[in-house]
Amino acid sequence: MLALAPMRSLPLALVGLALAVAAACGKPKMTVAPTPPAPAAAPHSLIPAPISFTATGAAPFTVTPRTRIIVNDREAVGVATFLARLIAAAPSAAISVELIEAGPLPEDAFVLQLRPGAAMAAEGYTLASTATQVVITASHPAGLFYGVQTLRQLLPAAVEHEWLRRKTLSVPAVSITDAPRFAWRGAMLDVARHFFGVEEVTRLLDLMALHKMNRLHLHLADDQGWRIEIDSWPNLTRHGGGTEVGGGPGGFYTKAQFAEIVRYAADRFITIVPEIDMPGHTNAALASYAELNCDGVAPPLFTGIEVGFSTLCAESDATYRFVDDVVREIGAMTPGRYFHIGGDEVKKLTPAQYEHFVKRAEAIVGRYGKTMIGWDEVAALKLDPGSIIQYWRPGAPKGELGQTGNVIFSPANKLYLDMKYTRATAIGLDWAGRIEVRDGYDWDPATMVPGVTEAAILGVEGPLWTETVARRADLDYLVFPRLAGIAEIGWTPQAQRNWESYRLRLAAQAPRWTALGINFYRSPQVPWVE
């Protein structure tokens, strides 16, 4: 049996010390103390924190040249192979994965067990390590995968880098039970304002997987560029993909490249959520096809960063032929059930025209078997029961945000990854405020919007808009460390997370993130371990 050991915020000794100091100074109560120095150790440095964690005190498990990986089910081989690649001494070295369906389990082994009937959340898992075995158990392969990500964070940072992997790898003796709070733990990358190719996207998918995130929303079209090949409207990429903010060369994904992204994501239990922002944010499409404009005149391409000036013609047949073709082709390329239609910041349509467009788009998305997602402007309309609303405007009129019971939380003042950290941050925007690491972490989606409670919240998503972001180093800097906080908000129950514990665990990520080559922001709020 697992002992439940909820995480504590401040070690008791430290709290005691602070109280003693306050008493000695004659203060009536504990007021704002300076940020305490880093306490010696947190019980673990896992992000997101698991539901329960017990260090058993037994001897650790050590990987040797004879260590094997055992699965009890063919369905677990994919996850086992991921683990094998992680712990092989070099990418070329093999570590065997063996199928043993019944009988005693060998020693000196990682064991991945699928128990399809087990009373466990679909993405939940248990992990138990001793000196002789590390056993991960789940009811679905996704749970095994998350168990492997926990194992990865229990292993030393050396495991992340091929030149370091030769060091001894050991796993502390622990017992963990875990499952996520929310089904939707997402990030969004705007590849329209600045284009990011397959290599950058797959790298982001890797880093998301490390934090048990499971949705990557790709913002595939905006005023500045169209980034996904559509066979029936080839000029979208041929012309509309040819530039970006600032006038750079832009780019787009061929269907084969997009398929590669989808496959790479699926191997990491991440669903790609495609967005074609409509009816506004469409200058790249309008520039590519004159018939999408009400006046029949194609505007020039756009490389600035203003918003709200473009719109598809809400009343023309061409518009809905276009929407139908785009939803059908992209829908066929994405196994996930979602299609994001954008719907934000439309300043050039009347409310009636806006409603007409969104309801027709919603019907088209439904006809292709997908679920519509829209930014929170769509909440002003009466939506179909299954549709999803993505909340982004803090303090805006909320409409009926909770009307379908499916809300993704991306409040710009907490989760927008393109906001600056401080006044001194060289890149990023600040229209929603500046978001230091603590601001982005220390809040609860379930108490933010009156009337929208836990049950109506699908989860959280951190969008990276890329008006000011053109290079990997800049992307890294805005995304890390804040993405880890978003992952924990999405995964860990509210009662089990707090800033004091989080900042220590975050501090401990530095060697791993450095081994992974991440250019993260060294926030002064975090006592980084170097």
Say how far apart CA 182 and CA 493 lie, in whole Å: 9
DSSP codes of every residue in 133-187: EEEEEESSHHHHHHHHHHHHHHS-GGGGSTTTTTS--EE--EEEEE--S-SEEEE
| Shortest Cβ 397–ligand TNX spacing (Å) | 15
Residues 260-289 that bind ligand TNX (CB under 6 A): none
| Shortest Cβ 29–ligand TNX spacing (Å) | 40
Say how far apart CA 226 and CA 289 lie, in whole Å: 12
| Close Cβ partners of 184 (under 8 Å, ≥ 6 residues apart) | 214, 215, 408, 458, 459, 460, 461, 490
Q: Which residue lies nearer to ligand TNX by CB, 260 or 345? A: 345
| Shortest Cβ 399–ligand TNX spacing (Å) | 14
Binding mask 425-464 for ligand TNX (x = CB under 6 A): ----x-----------------------------------
Kindly state the number of chain residues that form the binding site for ligand TNX, as judged by CB under 6 A: 10
Q: Which residue lies nearer to ligand TNX by CB, 106 or 394? A: 394
| Shortest Cβ 413–ligand TNX spacing (Å) | 11
Q: Which residue lies nearer to ligand TNX by CB, 47 or 432? A: 432
Say how far apart CA 205 and CA 187 lie, in whole Å: 9
Q: Which of 160, 244, 418, 474 binds ligand TNX (CB under 6 A)?
A: 418
| Shortest Cβ 272–ligand TNX spacing (Å) | 19
Q: Are 335 and 359 in contact (CB under 8 A)?
A: no
Which of 200, 329, 345, 500 is an active site residue?
Answer: 345
Q: Which of 53, 196, 322, 416 binds ligand TNX (CB under 6 A)?
A: 416
Question: How do beta strands 184-190 and 457-464 pair?
Answer: parallel
Cα dihedral: 457, 458, 459, 465 (round 10): -110
Binding mask 467-506 for ligand TNX (x = CB under 6 A): x---------------------------------------
Residues 330-349 that bind ligand TNX (CB under 6 A): 344-345
DSSP codes of every residue in 248-273: -----B-HHHHHHHHHHHHHTT-EEE
Q: Which residue lies nearer to ligand TNX by CB, 338 or 375? A: 375
Residues 67-126 that bind ligand TNX (CB under 6 A): none
| Shortest Cβ 383–ligand TNX spacing (Å) | 17
Q: Are 477 and 427 in contact (CB under 8 A)?
A: yes
| Shortest Cβ 360–ligand TNX spacing (Å) | 20
- Kindly report the backbone phi and psi dihedral angles of residue 372, in degrees, each rounded to the nearest multiple of 5, phi listed first: -80, 135
Q: Which of 125, 320, 392, 443 binds ligand TNX (CB under 6 A)?
A: 392
345 in active site: yes
Q: Are 279 and 309 in contact (CB under 8 A)?
A: no
Say how far apart CA 293 and CA 474 lie, in whole Å: 35
Q: Which residue lies nearer to ligand TNX by CB, 219 or 497? A: 219
Residue 465 binds ligand TNX (CB under 6 A): yes
Residue 391 binds ligand TNX (CB under 6 A): no
| Shortest Cβ 467–ligand TNX spacing (Å) | 6
Element (H, E) at 77: helix 77-87
If we measure between CA atoms, which residue out of 47, 82, 483 comes closest to residue 267? Answer: 82
Q: What angle do CA 458, 459, 461 make, to 5 degrees?
A: 130
- Kindly report the backbone phi and psi dihedral angles of residue 184, in degrees, each rounded to the nearest multiple of 5, phi listed first: -115, 110
Q: Which residue lies nearer to ligand TNX by CB, 331 or 342? A: 342
DSSP codes of every residue in 351-390: HHHHHHHHHHHHHHHHHTT-EEEEEGGGGGS---TT-EEE
Q: Which residue lies nearer to ligand TNX by CB, 178 or 418? A: 418
If we measure between CA atoms, which residue out of 508, 444, 518 comes closest to residue 477? Answer: 518
Residue 196 binds ligand TNX (CB under 6 A): no
449 HSE (CA, 13 A, CB side): 27
34 HSE (CA, 13 A, CB side): 4
Q: Which residue lies nearer to ligand TNX by CB, 267 or 430? A: 430
Binding mask 153-192 for ligand TNX (x = CB under 6 A): ----------------------------------------
Residue 380 binds ligand TNX (CB under 6 A): no
Distances (CA, A) of 59 to 89, 107, 155, 310: 22, 14, 14, 64
Q: Which of 375, 480, 513, 520 binds ligand TNX (CB under 6 A)?
A: 375
Residue 307 binds ligand TNX (CB under 6 A): yes
| Shortest Cβ 382–ligand TNX spacing (Å) | 21
Q: Which residues are catalytic?
A: 345
Please report, as ranges, the residues that interact with ligand TNX according to CB under 6 A: 307, 344-345, 375, 392, 416, 418, 429, 465, 467
